[in-house]
Amino acid sequence: MNRSHDILFFLLSMTVCFYACGGPSRSRDSGKRFEPRLQRSLQAILNQPTLRPMTIGLKVVSLDTGDTLFAHRSAGLFHPASNTKLFTAVSALRILGPDYRFLTTIFADPDLAIRGDTLSTNLYLYGRGDPFFSTDDLDRLAGTIAAFHPVVIAGDVILDDSYFDTVPLGEGWMWDDVQYGYSAQLSAMTINSNCVQVKIMPGDAVGAPVAVRISPSTAYLTFDVKATTMSAGSESIAPLRVQRHWQARRNIITITGALPLGAGERLFIRTVEEPGLYAALLLKEQLHARGVYITGRVRRGKTPYRARALATHKSEPLTTTVTKMLKDSDNLSAELLIKTMGQHRSGETGTTQGGLRAVRQVLTEYVGLDTLSYRFADGSGLSFYNLVTPDQTIALLAAAYQDTTLRRSLMEALPIAGIDGTLKNRMKGTEAEGILRAKTGTLSGASCLSGFVYTQDGEPLVFSIMMNNYVGSSATARRAQDEIGAVLAGFSRK
């Protein structure tokens, strides 16, 4: 039977009496005081024959006493997959602060001139890395400009994405994943997660091309539709394939295969090349839809000194960004946070390497980790170059939990077992439902789960489970992780 969420938030508000209140104290590992019953239960899970091919690291620590309750290969290095986002989240909250907001601004030339219904100026779309800036946000900016009542803007729409460097992908990412939404390109001027939605329906009759529409509607992409409509009773229907010409780095999407007559709408998400220019064209198209004609073209450039700000969008606080990143395991936001941290610390163009330097500094000063004992190549966990241990993950989470200025922000951002995020459909009907909060992580051959759980006695535990080196589906690894989570939530010292 599940315990009330009120219990969880009451416990979150309590100060852990074993730690100083003024700031983050390091996790005290006062010794391996294994609880025999817990040890037997966890070891039985790890001994399952289906897990034998895997390399597994597991550690469980009491946040009340600092005791290690269970450890198995916890000092070994593993591919953390999206558990990397835990390190990104804690670092961003420390470096940028929970109230940090991203700004996106449309500027005009310093010497803009108004003659009748014509506004003579270029428009500069200046992005500062807002991961969740959307078409609706851009349209509100366009509405502000249209409120000046120009009929013509004599100038260009200029993308200024110089807040970050122009490296579009992460080090060690899979080269053949770049057309899919989880591997979208990085840009200081991000919009709609740098993707488009491709919606496909059968045509009006057998043999007709399928009907295609995209959201948002834009001329930025072109389509080569070869897919056709077949009768509903056809025995052999070629599968529908939606492929962007990613190898040629072009915004052309080819659709092949077939849909049976009467089939429902199919939705595909595909990335775009040069997402900043995508945003700039959308601005031009939105202004045109509002009756404002722009005479020039869309191009990349720099905002001039003393440019005039016409409209600015301010994002939600960083806590909202971190919550979306962790709940949904959003890769793009993690990578943009890394570059933002680099820019914030240096005052110069944001880069991944600069952001990772800032992360390493946090992990040294705040957590006490040796920079030579782990490796991060990105902020999302897509890179196979990332290596970290369960011990180090425990140290990070324990430091954040002990920090009263950070604890609630992190805890509320984590997926909740059986309730939301990437854990919505996991551990339902077990003692962990509604109680365990943790970050998932999945790559080919890697599955991880790290976070917090309260026992039957209300004792807070921090745990890290890392499973690597298996072939095929991650279902077996996830089942074992769920069993471990249920055991921890159901544990009692009494």
Cβ atoms of 308 and 108 within 8 Å: the answer is yes
| φ/ψ (deg, to 5) at 364 | -80, -50
Residues forming the active site: 82, 85, 329
Q: What average pLDDT score do residues 223-248 get?
A: 90
Q: What is the band of 358 on the pLDDT scale with cuts at 50, 70, 90? A: very high
Predicted confidence (pLDDT) at residue 5 exceeds the cutoff of 80: no
For residue 446, CA distances in Å to 7, 82, 477, 478 come to 33, 10, 9, 10
pLDDT tens digits, residue range 442-486?
A: 999 999 999 999 999 999 999 999 999 999 999 999 999 999 999
Residue 185, CB-side half-sphere exposure with 13 Å CA sphere: 27
Residues 331-357 have pLDDT tens digits of 999 999 999 999 999 999 999 999 999
- The 10 Å Cβ neighbour count of residue 407 is 18
Q: What are phi and psi of 405, to 5 degrees?
A: -85, -10
Q: Is the pLDDT of residue 190 over 60?
A: yes
Q: What is the pTM of this model?
A: 0.92
Q: Are strands 241-244 and 211-215 parallel, antiparallel or unpaired?
A: unpaired
Measured distance CA(490)–CA(493) in Å, rounded: 10
Q: What are phi and psi of 90, to 5 degrees?
A: -65, -45
Interior/surface letters 58-92, b for 16+ CB within 10 angstroms, e for the rest: bbbbbbbbbbbbbbbbbeebbbbbbbbbbbbbbbb
d(CA 63, CA 16) in angstroms, rounded, equals 8
Q: What is the pLDDT of residues 249-299, one digit of tens each?
A: 999 999 999 999 989 999 999 999 999 999 999 999 999 999 999 999 999
Residues of the chain above pLDDT 70, percent: 93
CA distances from 186 to 72, 272, 305, 468 (A): 37, 11, 25, 28
First-to-last alpha carbon distance for the chain, in angstroms, is 19
Count the neighbouring beta carbons within 10 Å of the beta carbon of residue 131: 22
Note the pLDDT of residue 31.
Answer: 52
Return the structure tokens found at 262: 């009467």
pLDDT at 238: 87
Is the model's pLDDT at 213 over the cut of 80?
yes
CA–CA distances in Å: residue 475 to residues 69, 204, 446, 448, 479: 26, 40, 11, 12, 6
Calculate the CA 450 to chain-centre distance: 16
129 within 8 A of 148, measured Cβ to Cβ: no
